[in-house]
Structure 1
Amino acid sequence: MGLKRSRTSLRDLTYRAANALQALKPVWMMSPTSAAQYIRPNSIRFDLLVIDEASQMRPEFAVSAILRADQIVVVGDANQLPPSDFFSASLSDGEGDGDDGSATEDTESILDLANQRLRRKRRLRWHYRSQHERLIQYSNREFYDRDLIIFPSPRTDDELLGVKCHYVGGTYDASINQQEAQAVIEEAYRLMRAYPERSLGIATMNIKQADLIRAEFDRLMLEQREVRDYIDYHSGGSTSSLSRISKTCRVMNATLS
């Protein structure tokens, strides 16, 4: 029997080869959990730590990385969702109706703490990620006091760009809206016929509404040959896409497109 060579853990390797690793790779990208797991205290120091998406990180998760840096830059948006276990909990328990209010629980983030303690602040105003200004128009008006600088879209007459609201109404009952589901299916069918070369995505805000729309779509596929041909055409995947969001809630029932 051959002798087994003992393995060096990644944490020990990082400690023993700290200087060499930093010389080879001066920039490290890792989560705070990984920093605590793989970097021993007082073994490696970083000149600068950048915490991105800080509005979604709890302060206790950031401490391990902060203790290993001489200077920090906290980057985040206070108008985004606060730290929450809503989505992971929804996936683990198979629910996801979003009626318990846990998604909006007020939890302090490292960004909140930084805004309270750090004096030097800078706001980024230029928005360049949206292909159409309507995608950010509502947020700019309601959350950013119209302070964002937005580039106008060169294409204003294309129905496939931007955001449009089609009020449906209907009745919200037991986490579903039957009328809204039917409206989404009708719009999906129209798009399949109008743009057969484009793929289509339908998103809902709870699982029950998604199941209802899926059932309606299966029925439509059995009834309409065009839908079956469309599915066959895109079964190999397509790089282009259309998106429709079906939003169901007690206060507002709308189909955003």
Structure 2
Amino acid sequence: MTESAPDPAVAAKRLPGAHRPVALITGPTSGIGKAYATRLAALGYDLVLAARDEQRLAALAHDVQVHFGAEAEVLPVDLATPAGRDRVAARLGDGVEFLVNNAGFGNSGEFWANDPAHLQAQLDVNVTAVMQLTRAALPPMLHAANGTVVNVASLAGLIPGRGSTYSASKAYVVSFSEGLASGLAGTGVRVQALCPGFVRTEFHERAGIGASLPRPLWLDVDEVVAGSLRDLEKNRVISVPGMQYKAIAAVAGSLPRPLAARLNRRLFNARGRT
């Protein structure tokens, strides 16, 4: 992917002593977030890394500096809290060229048996943080007529089935991104909803998802990020990495709703997931 240098007159806030464009990634300590952080550092970005685990943030910051010469600012925050979201939003208000809203999680167990506080935290990270952080990032991007926002959704946002609250939260991210992209047409700011299927990450390991899935359904994180960047260059608002998932999404989108619901149940058993 080719990135042009920003106009110094409208450049985003640089890290101390740095002159490279800046990308902020939430949830970068593993999985898609870490792959995106590494790829953007390799493409010439400095990074702002926001997550709960300060030790893993520091390790990632060290790695990108050693391997790519990228400076990295770490923000140890919990995006389920107003204070955590406000801290990241304040940094975005200073300006970045690239935002990856990657942080998100699902709950195990049935919806009706889950602690309401856990359900609310899931929505605060998966939905509220995406909305608030995107809102904070856009004014400086629009002023610079340059910027990219990637909101990590899920195939579950297109084909509900991976739990009730999780699928609903990702459907919000898809619809939100599509609406924003229409409103931002012609401004120089791009928005994408990244909708991967099953990816080999800690997310799926923690949730106990997909242990019996056939190998062809699994995606690699680097494959997901590469697909996202290719789709950005083609101005595709919805990015579905992997030919297998492109086919599934296309078929599901063309089916009557009752048949699509059956497909959902076969592909994504929602029992025991919220």
- TM-score by length of structure 2 reads 0.25
- TM-score by length of structure 1 reads 0.27
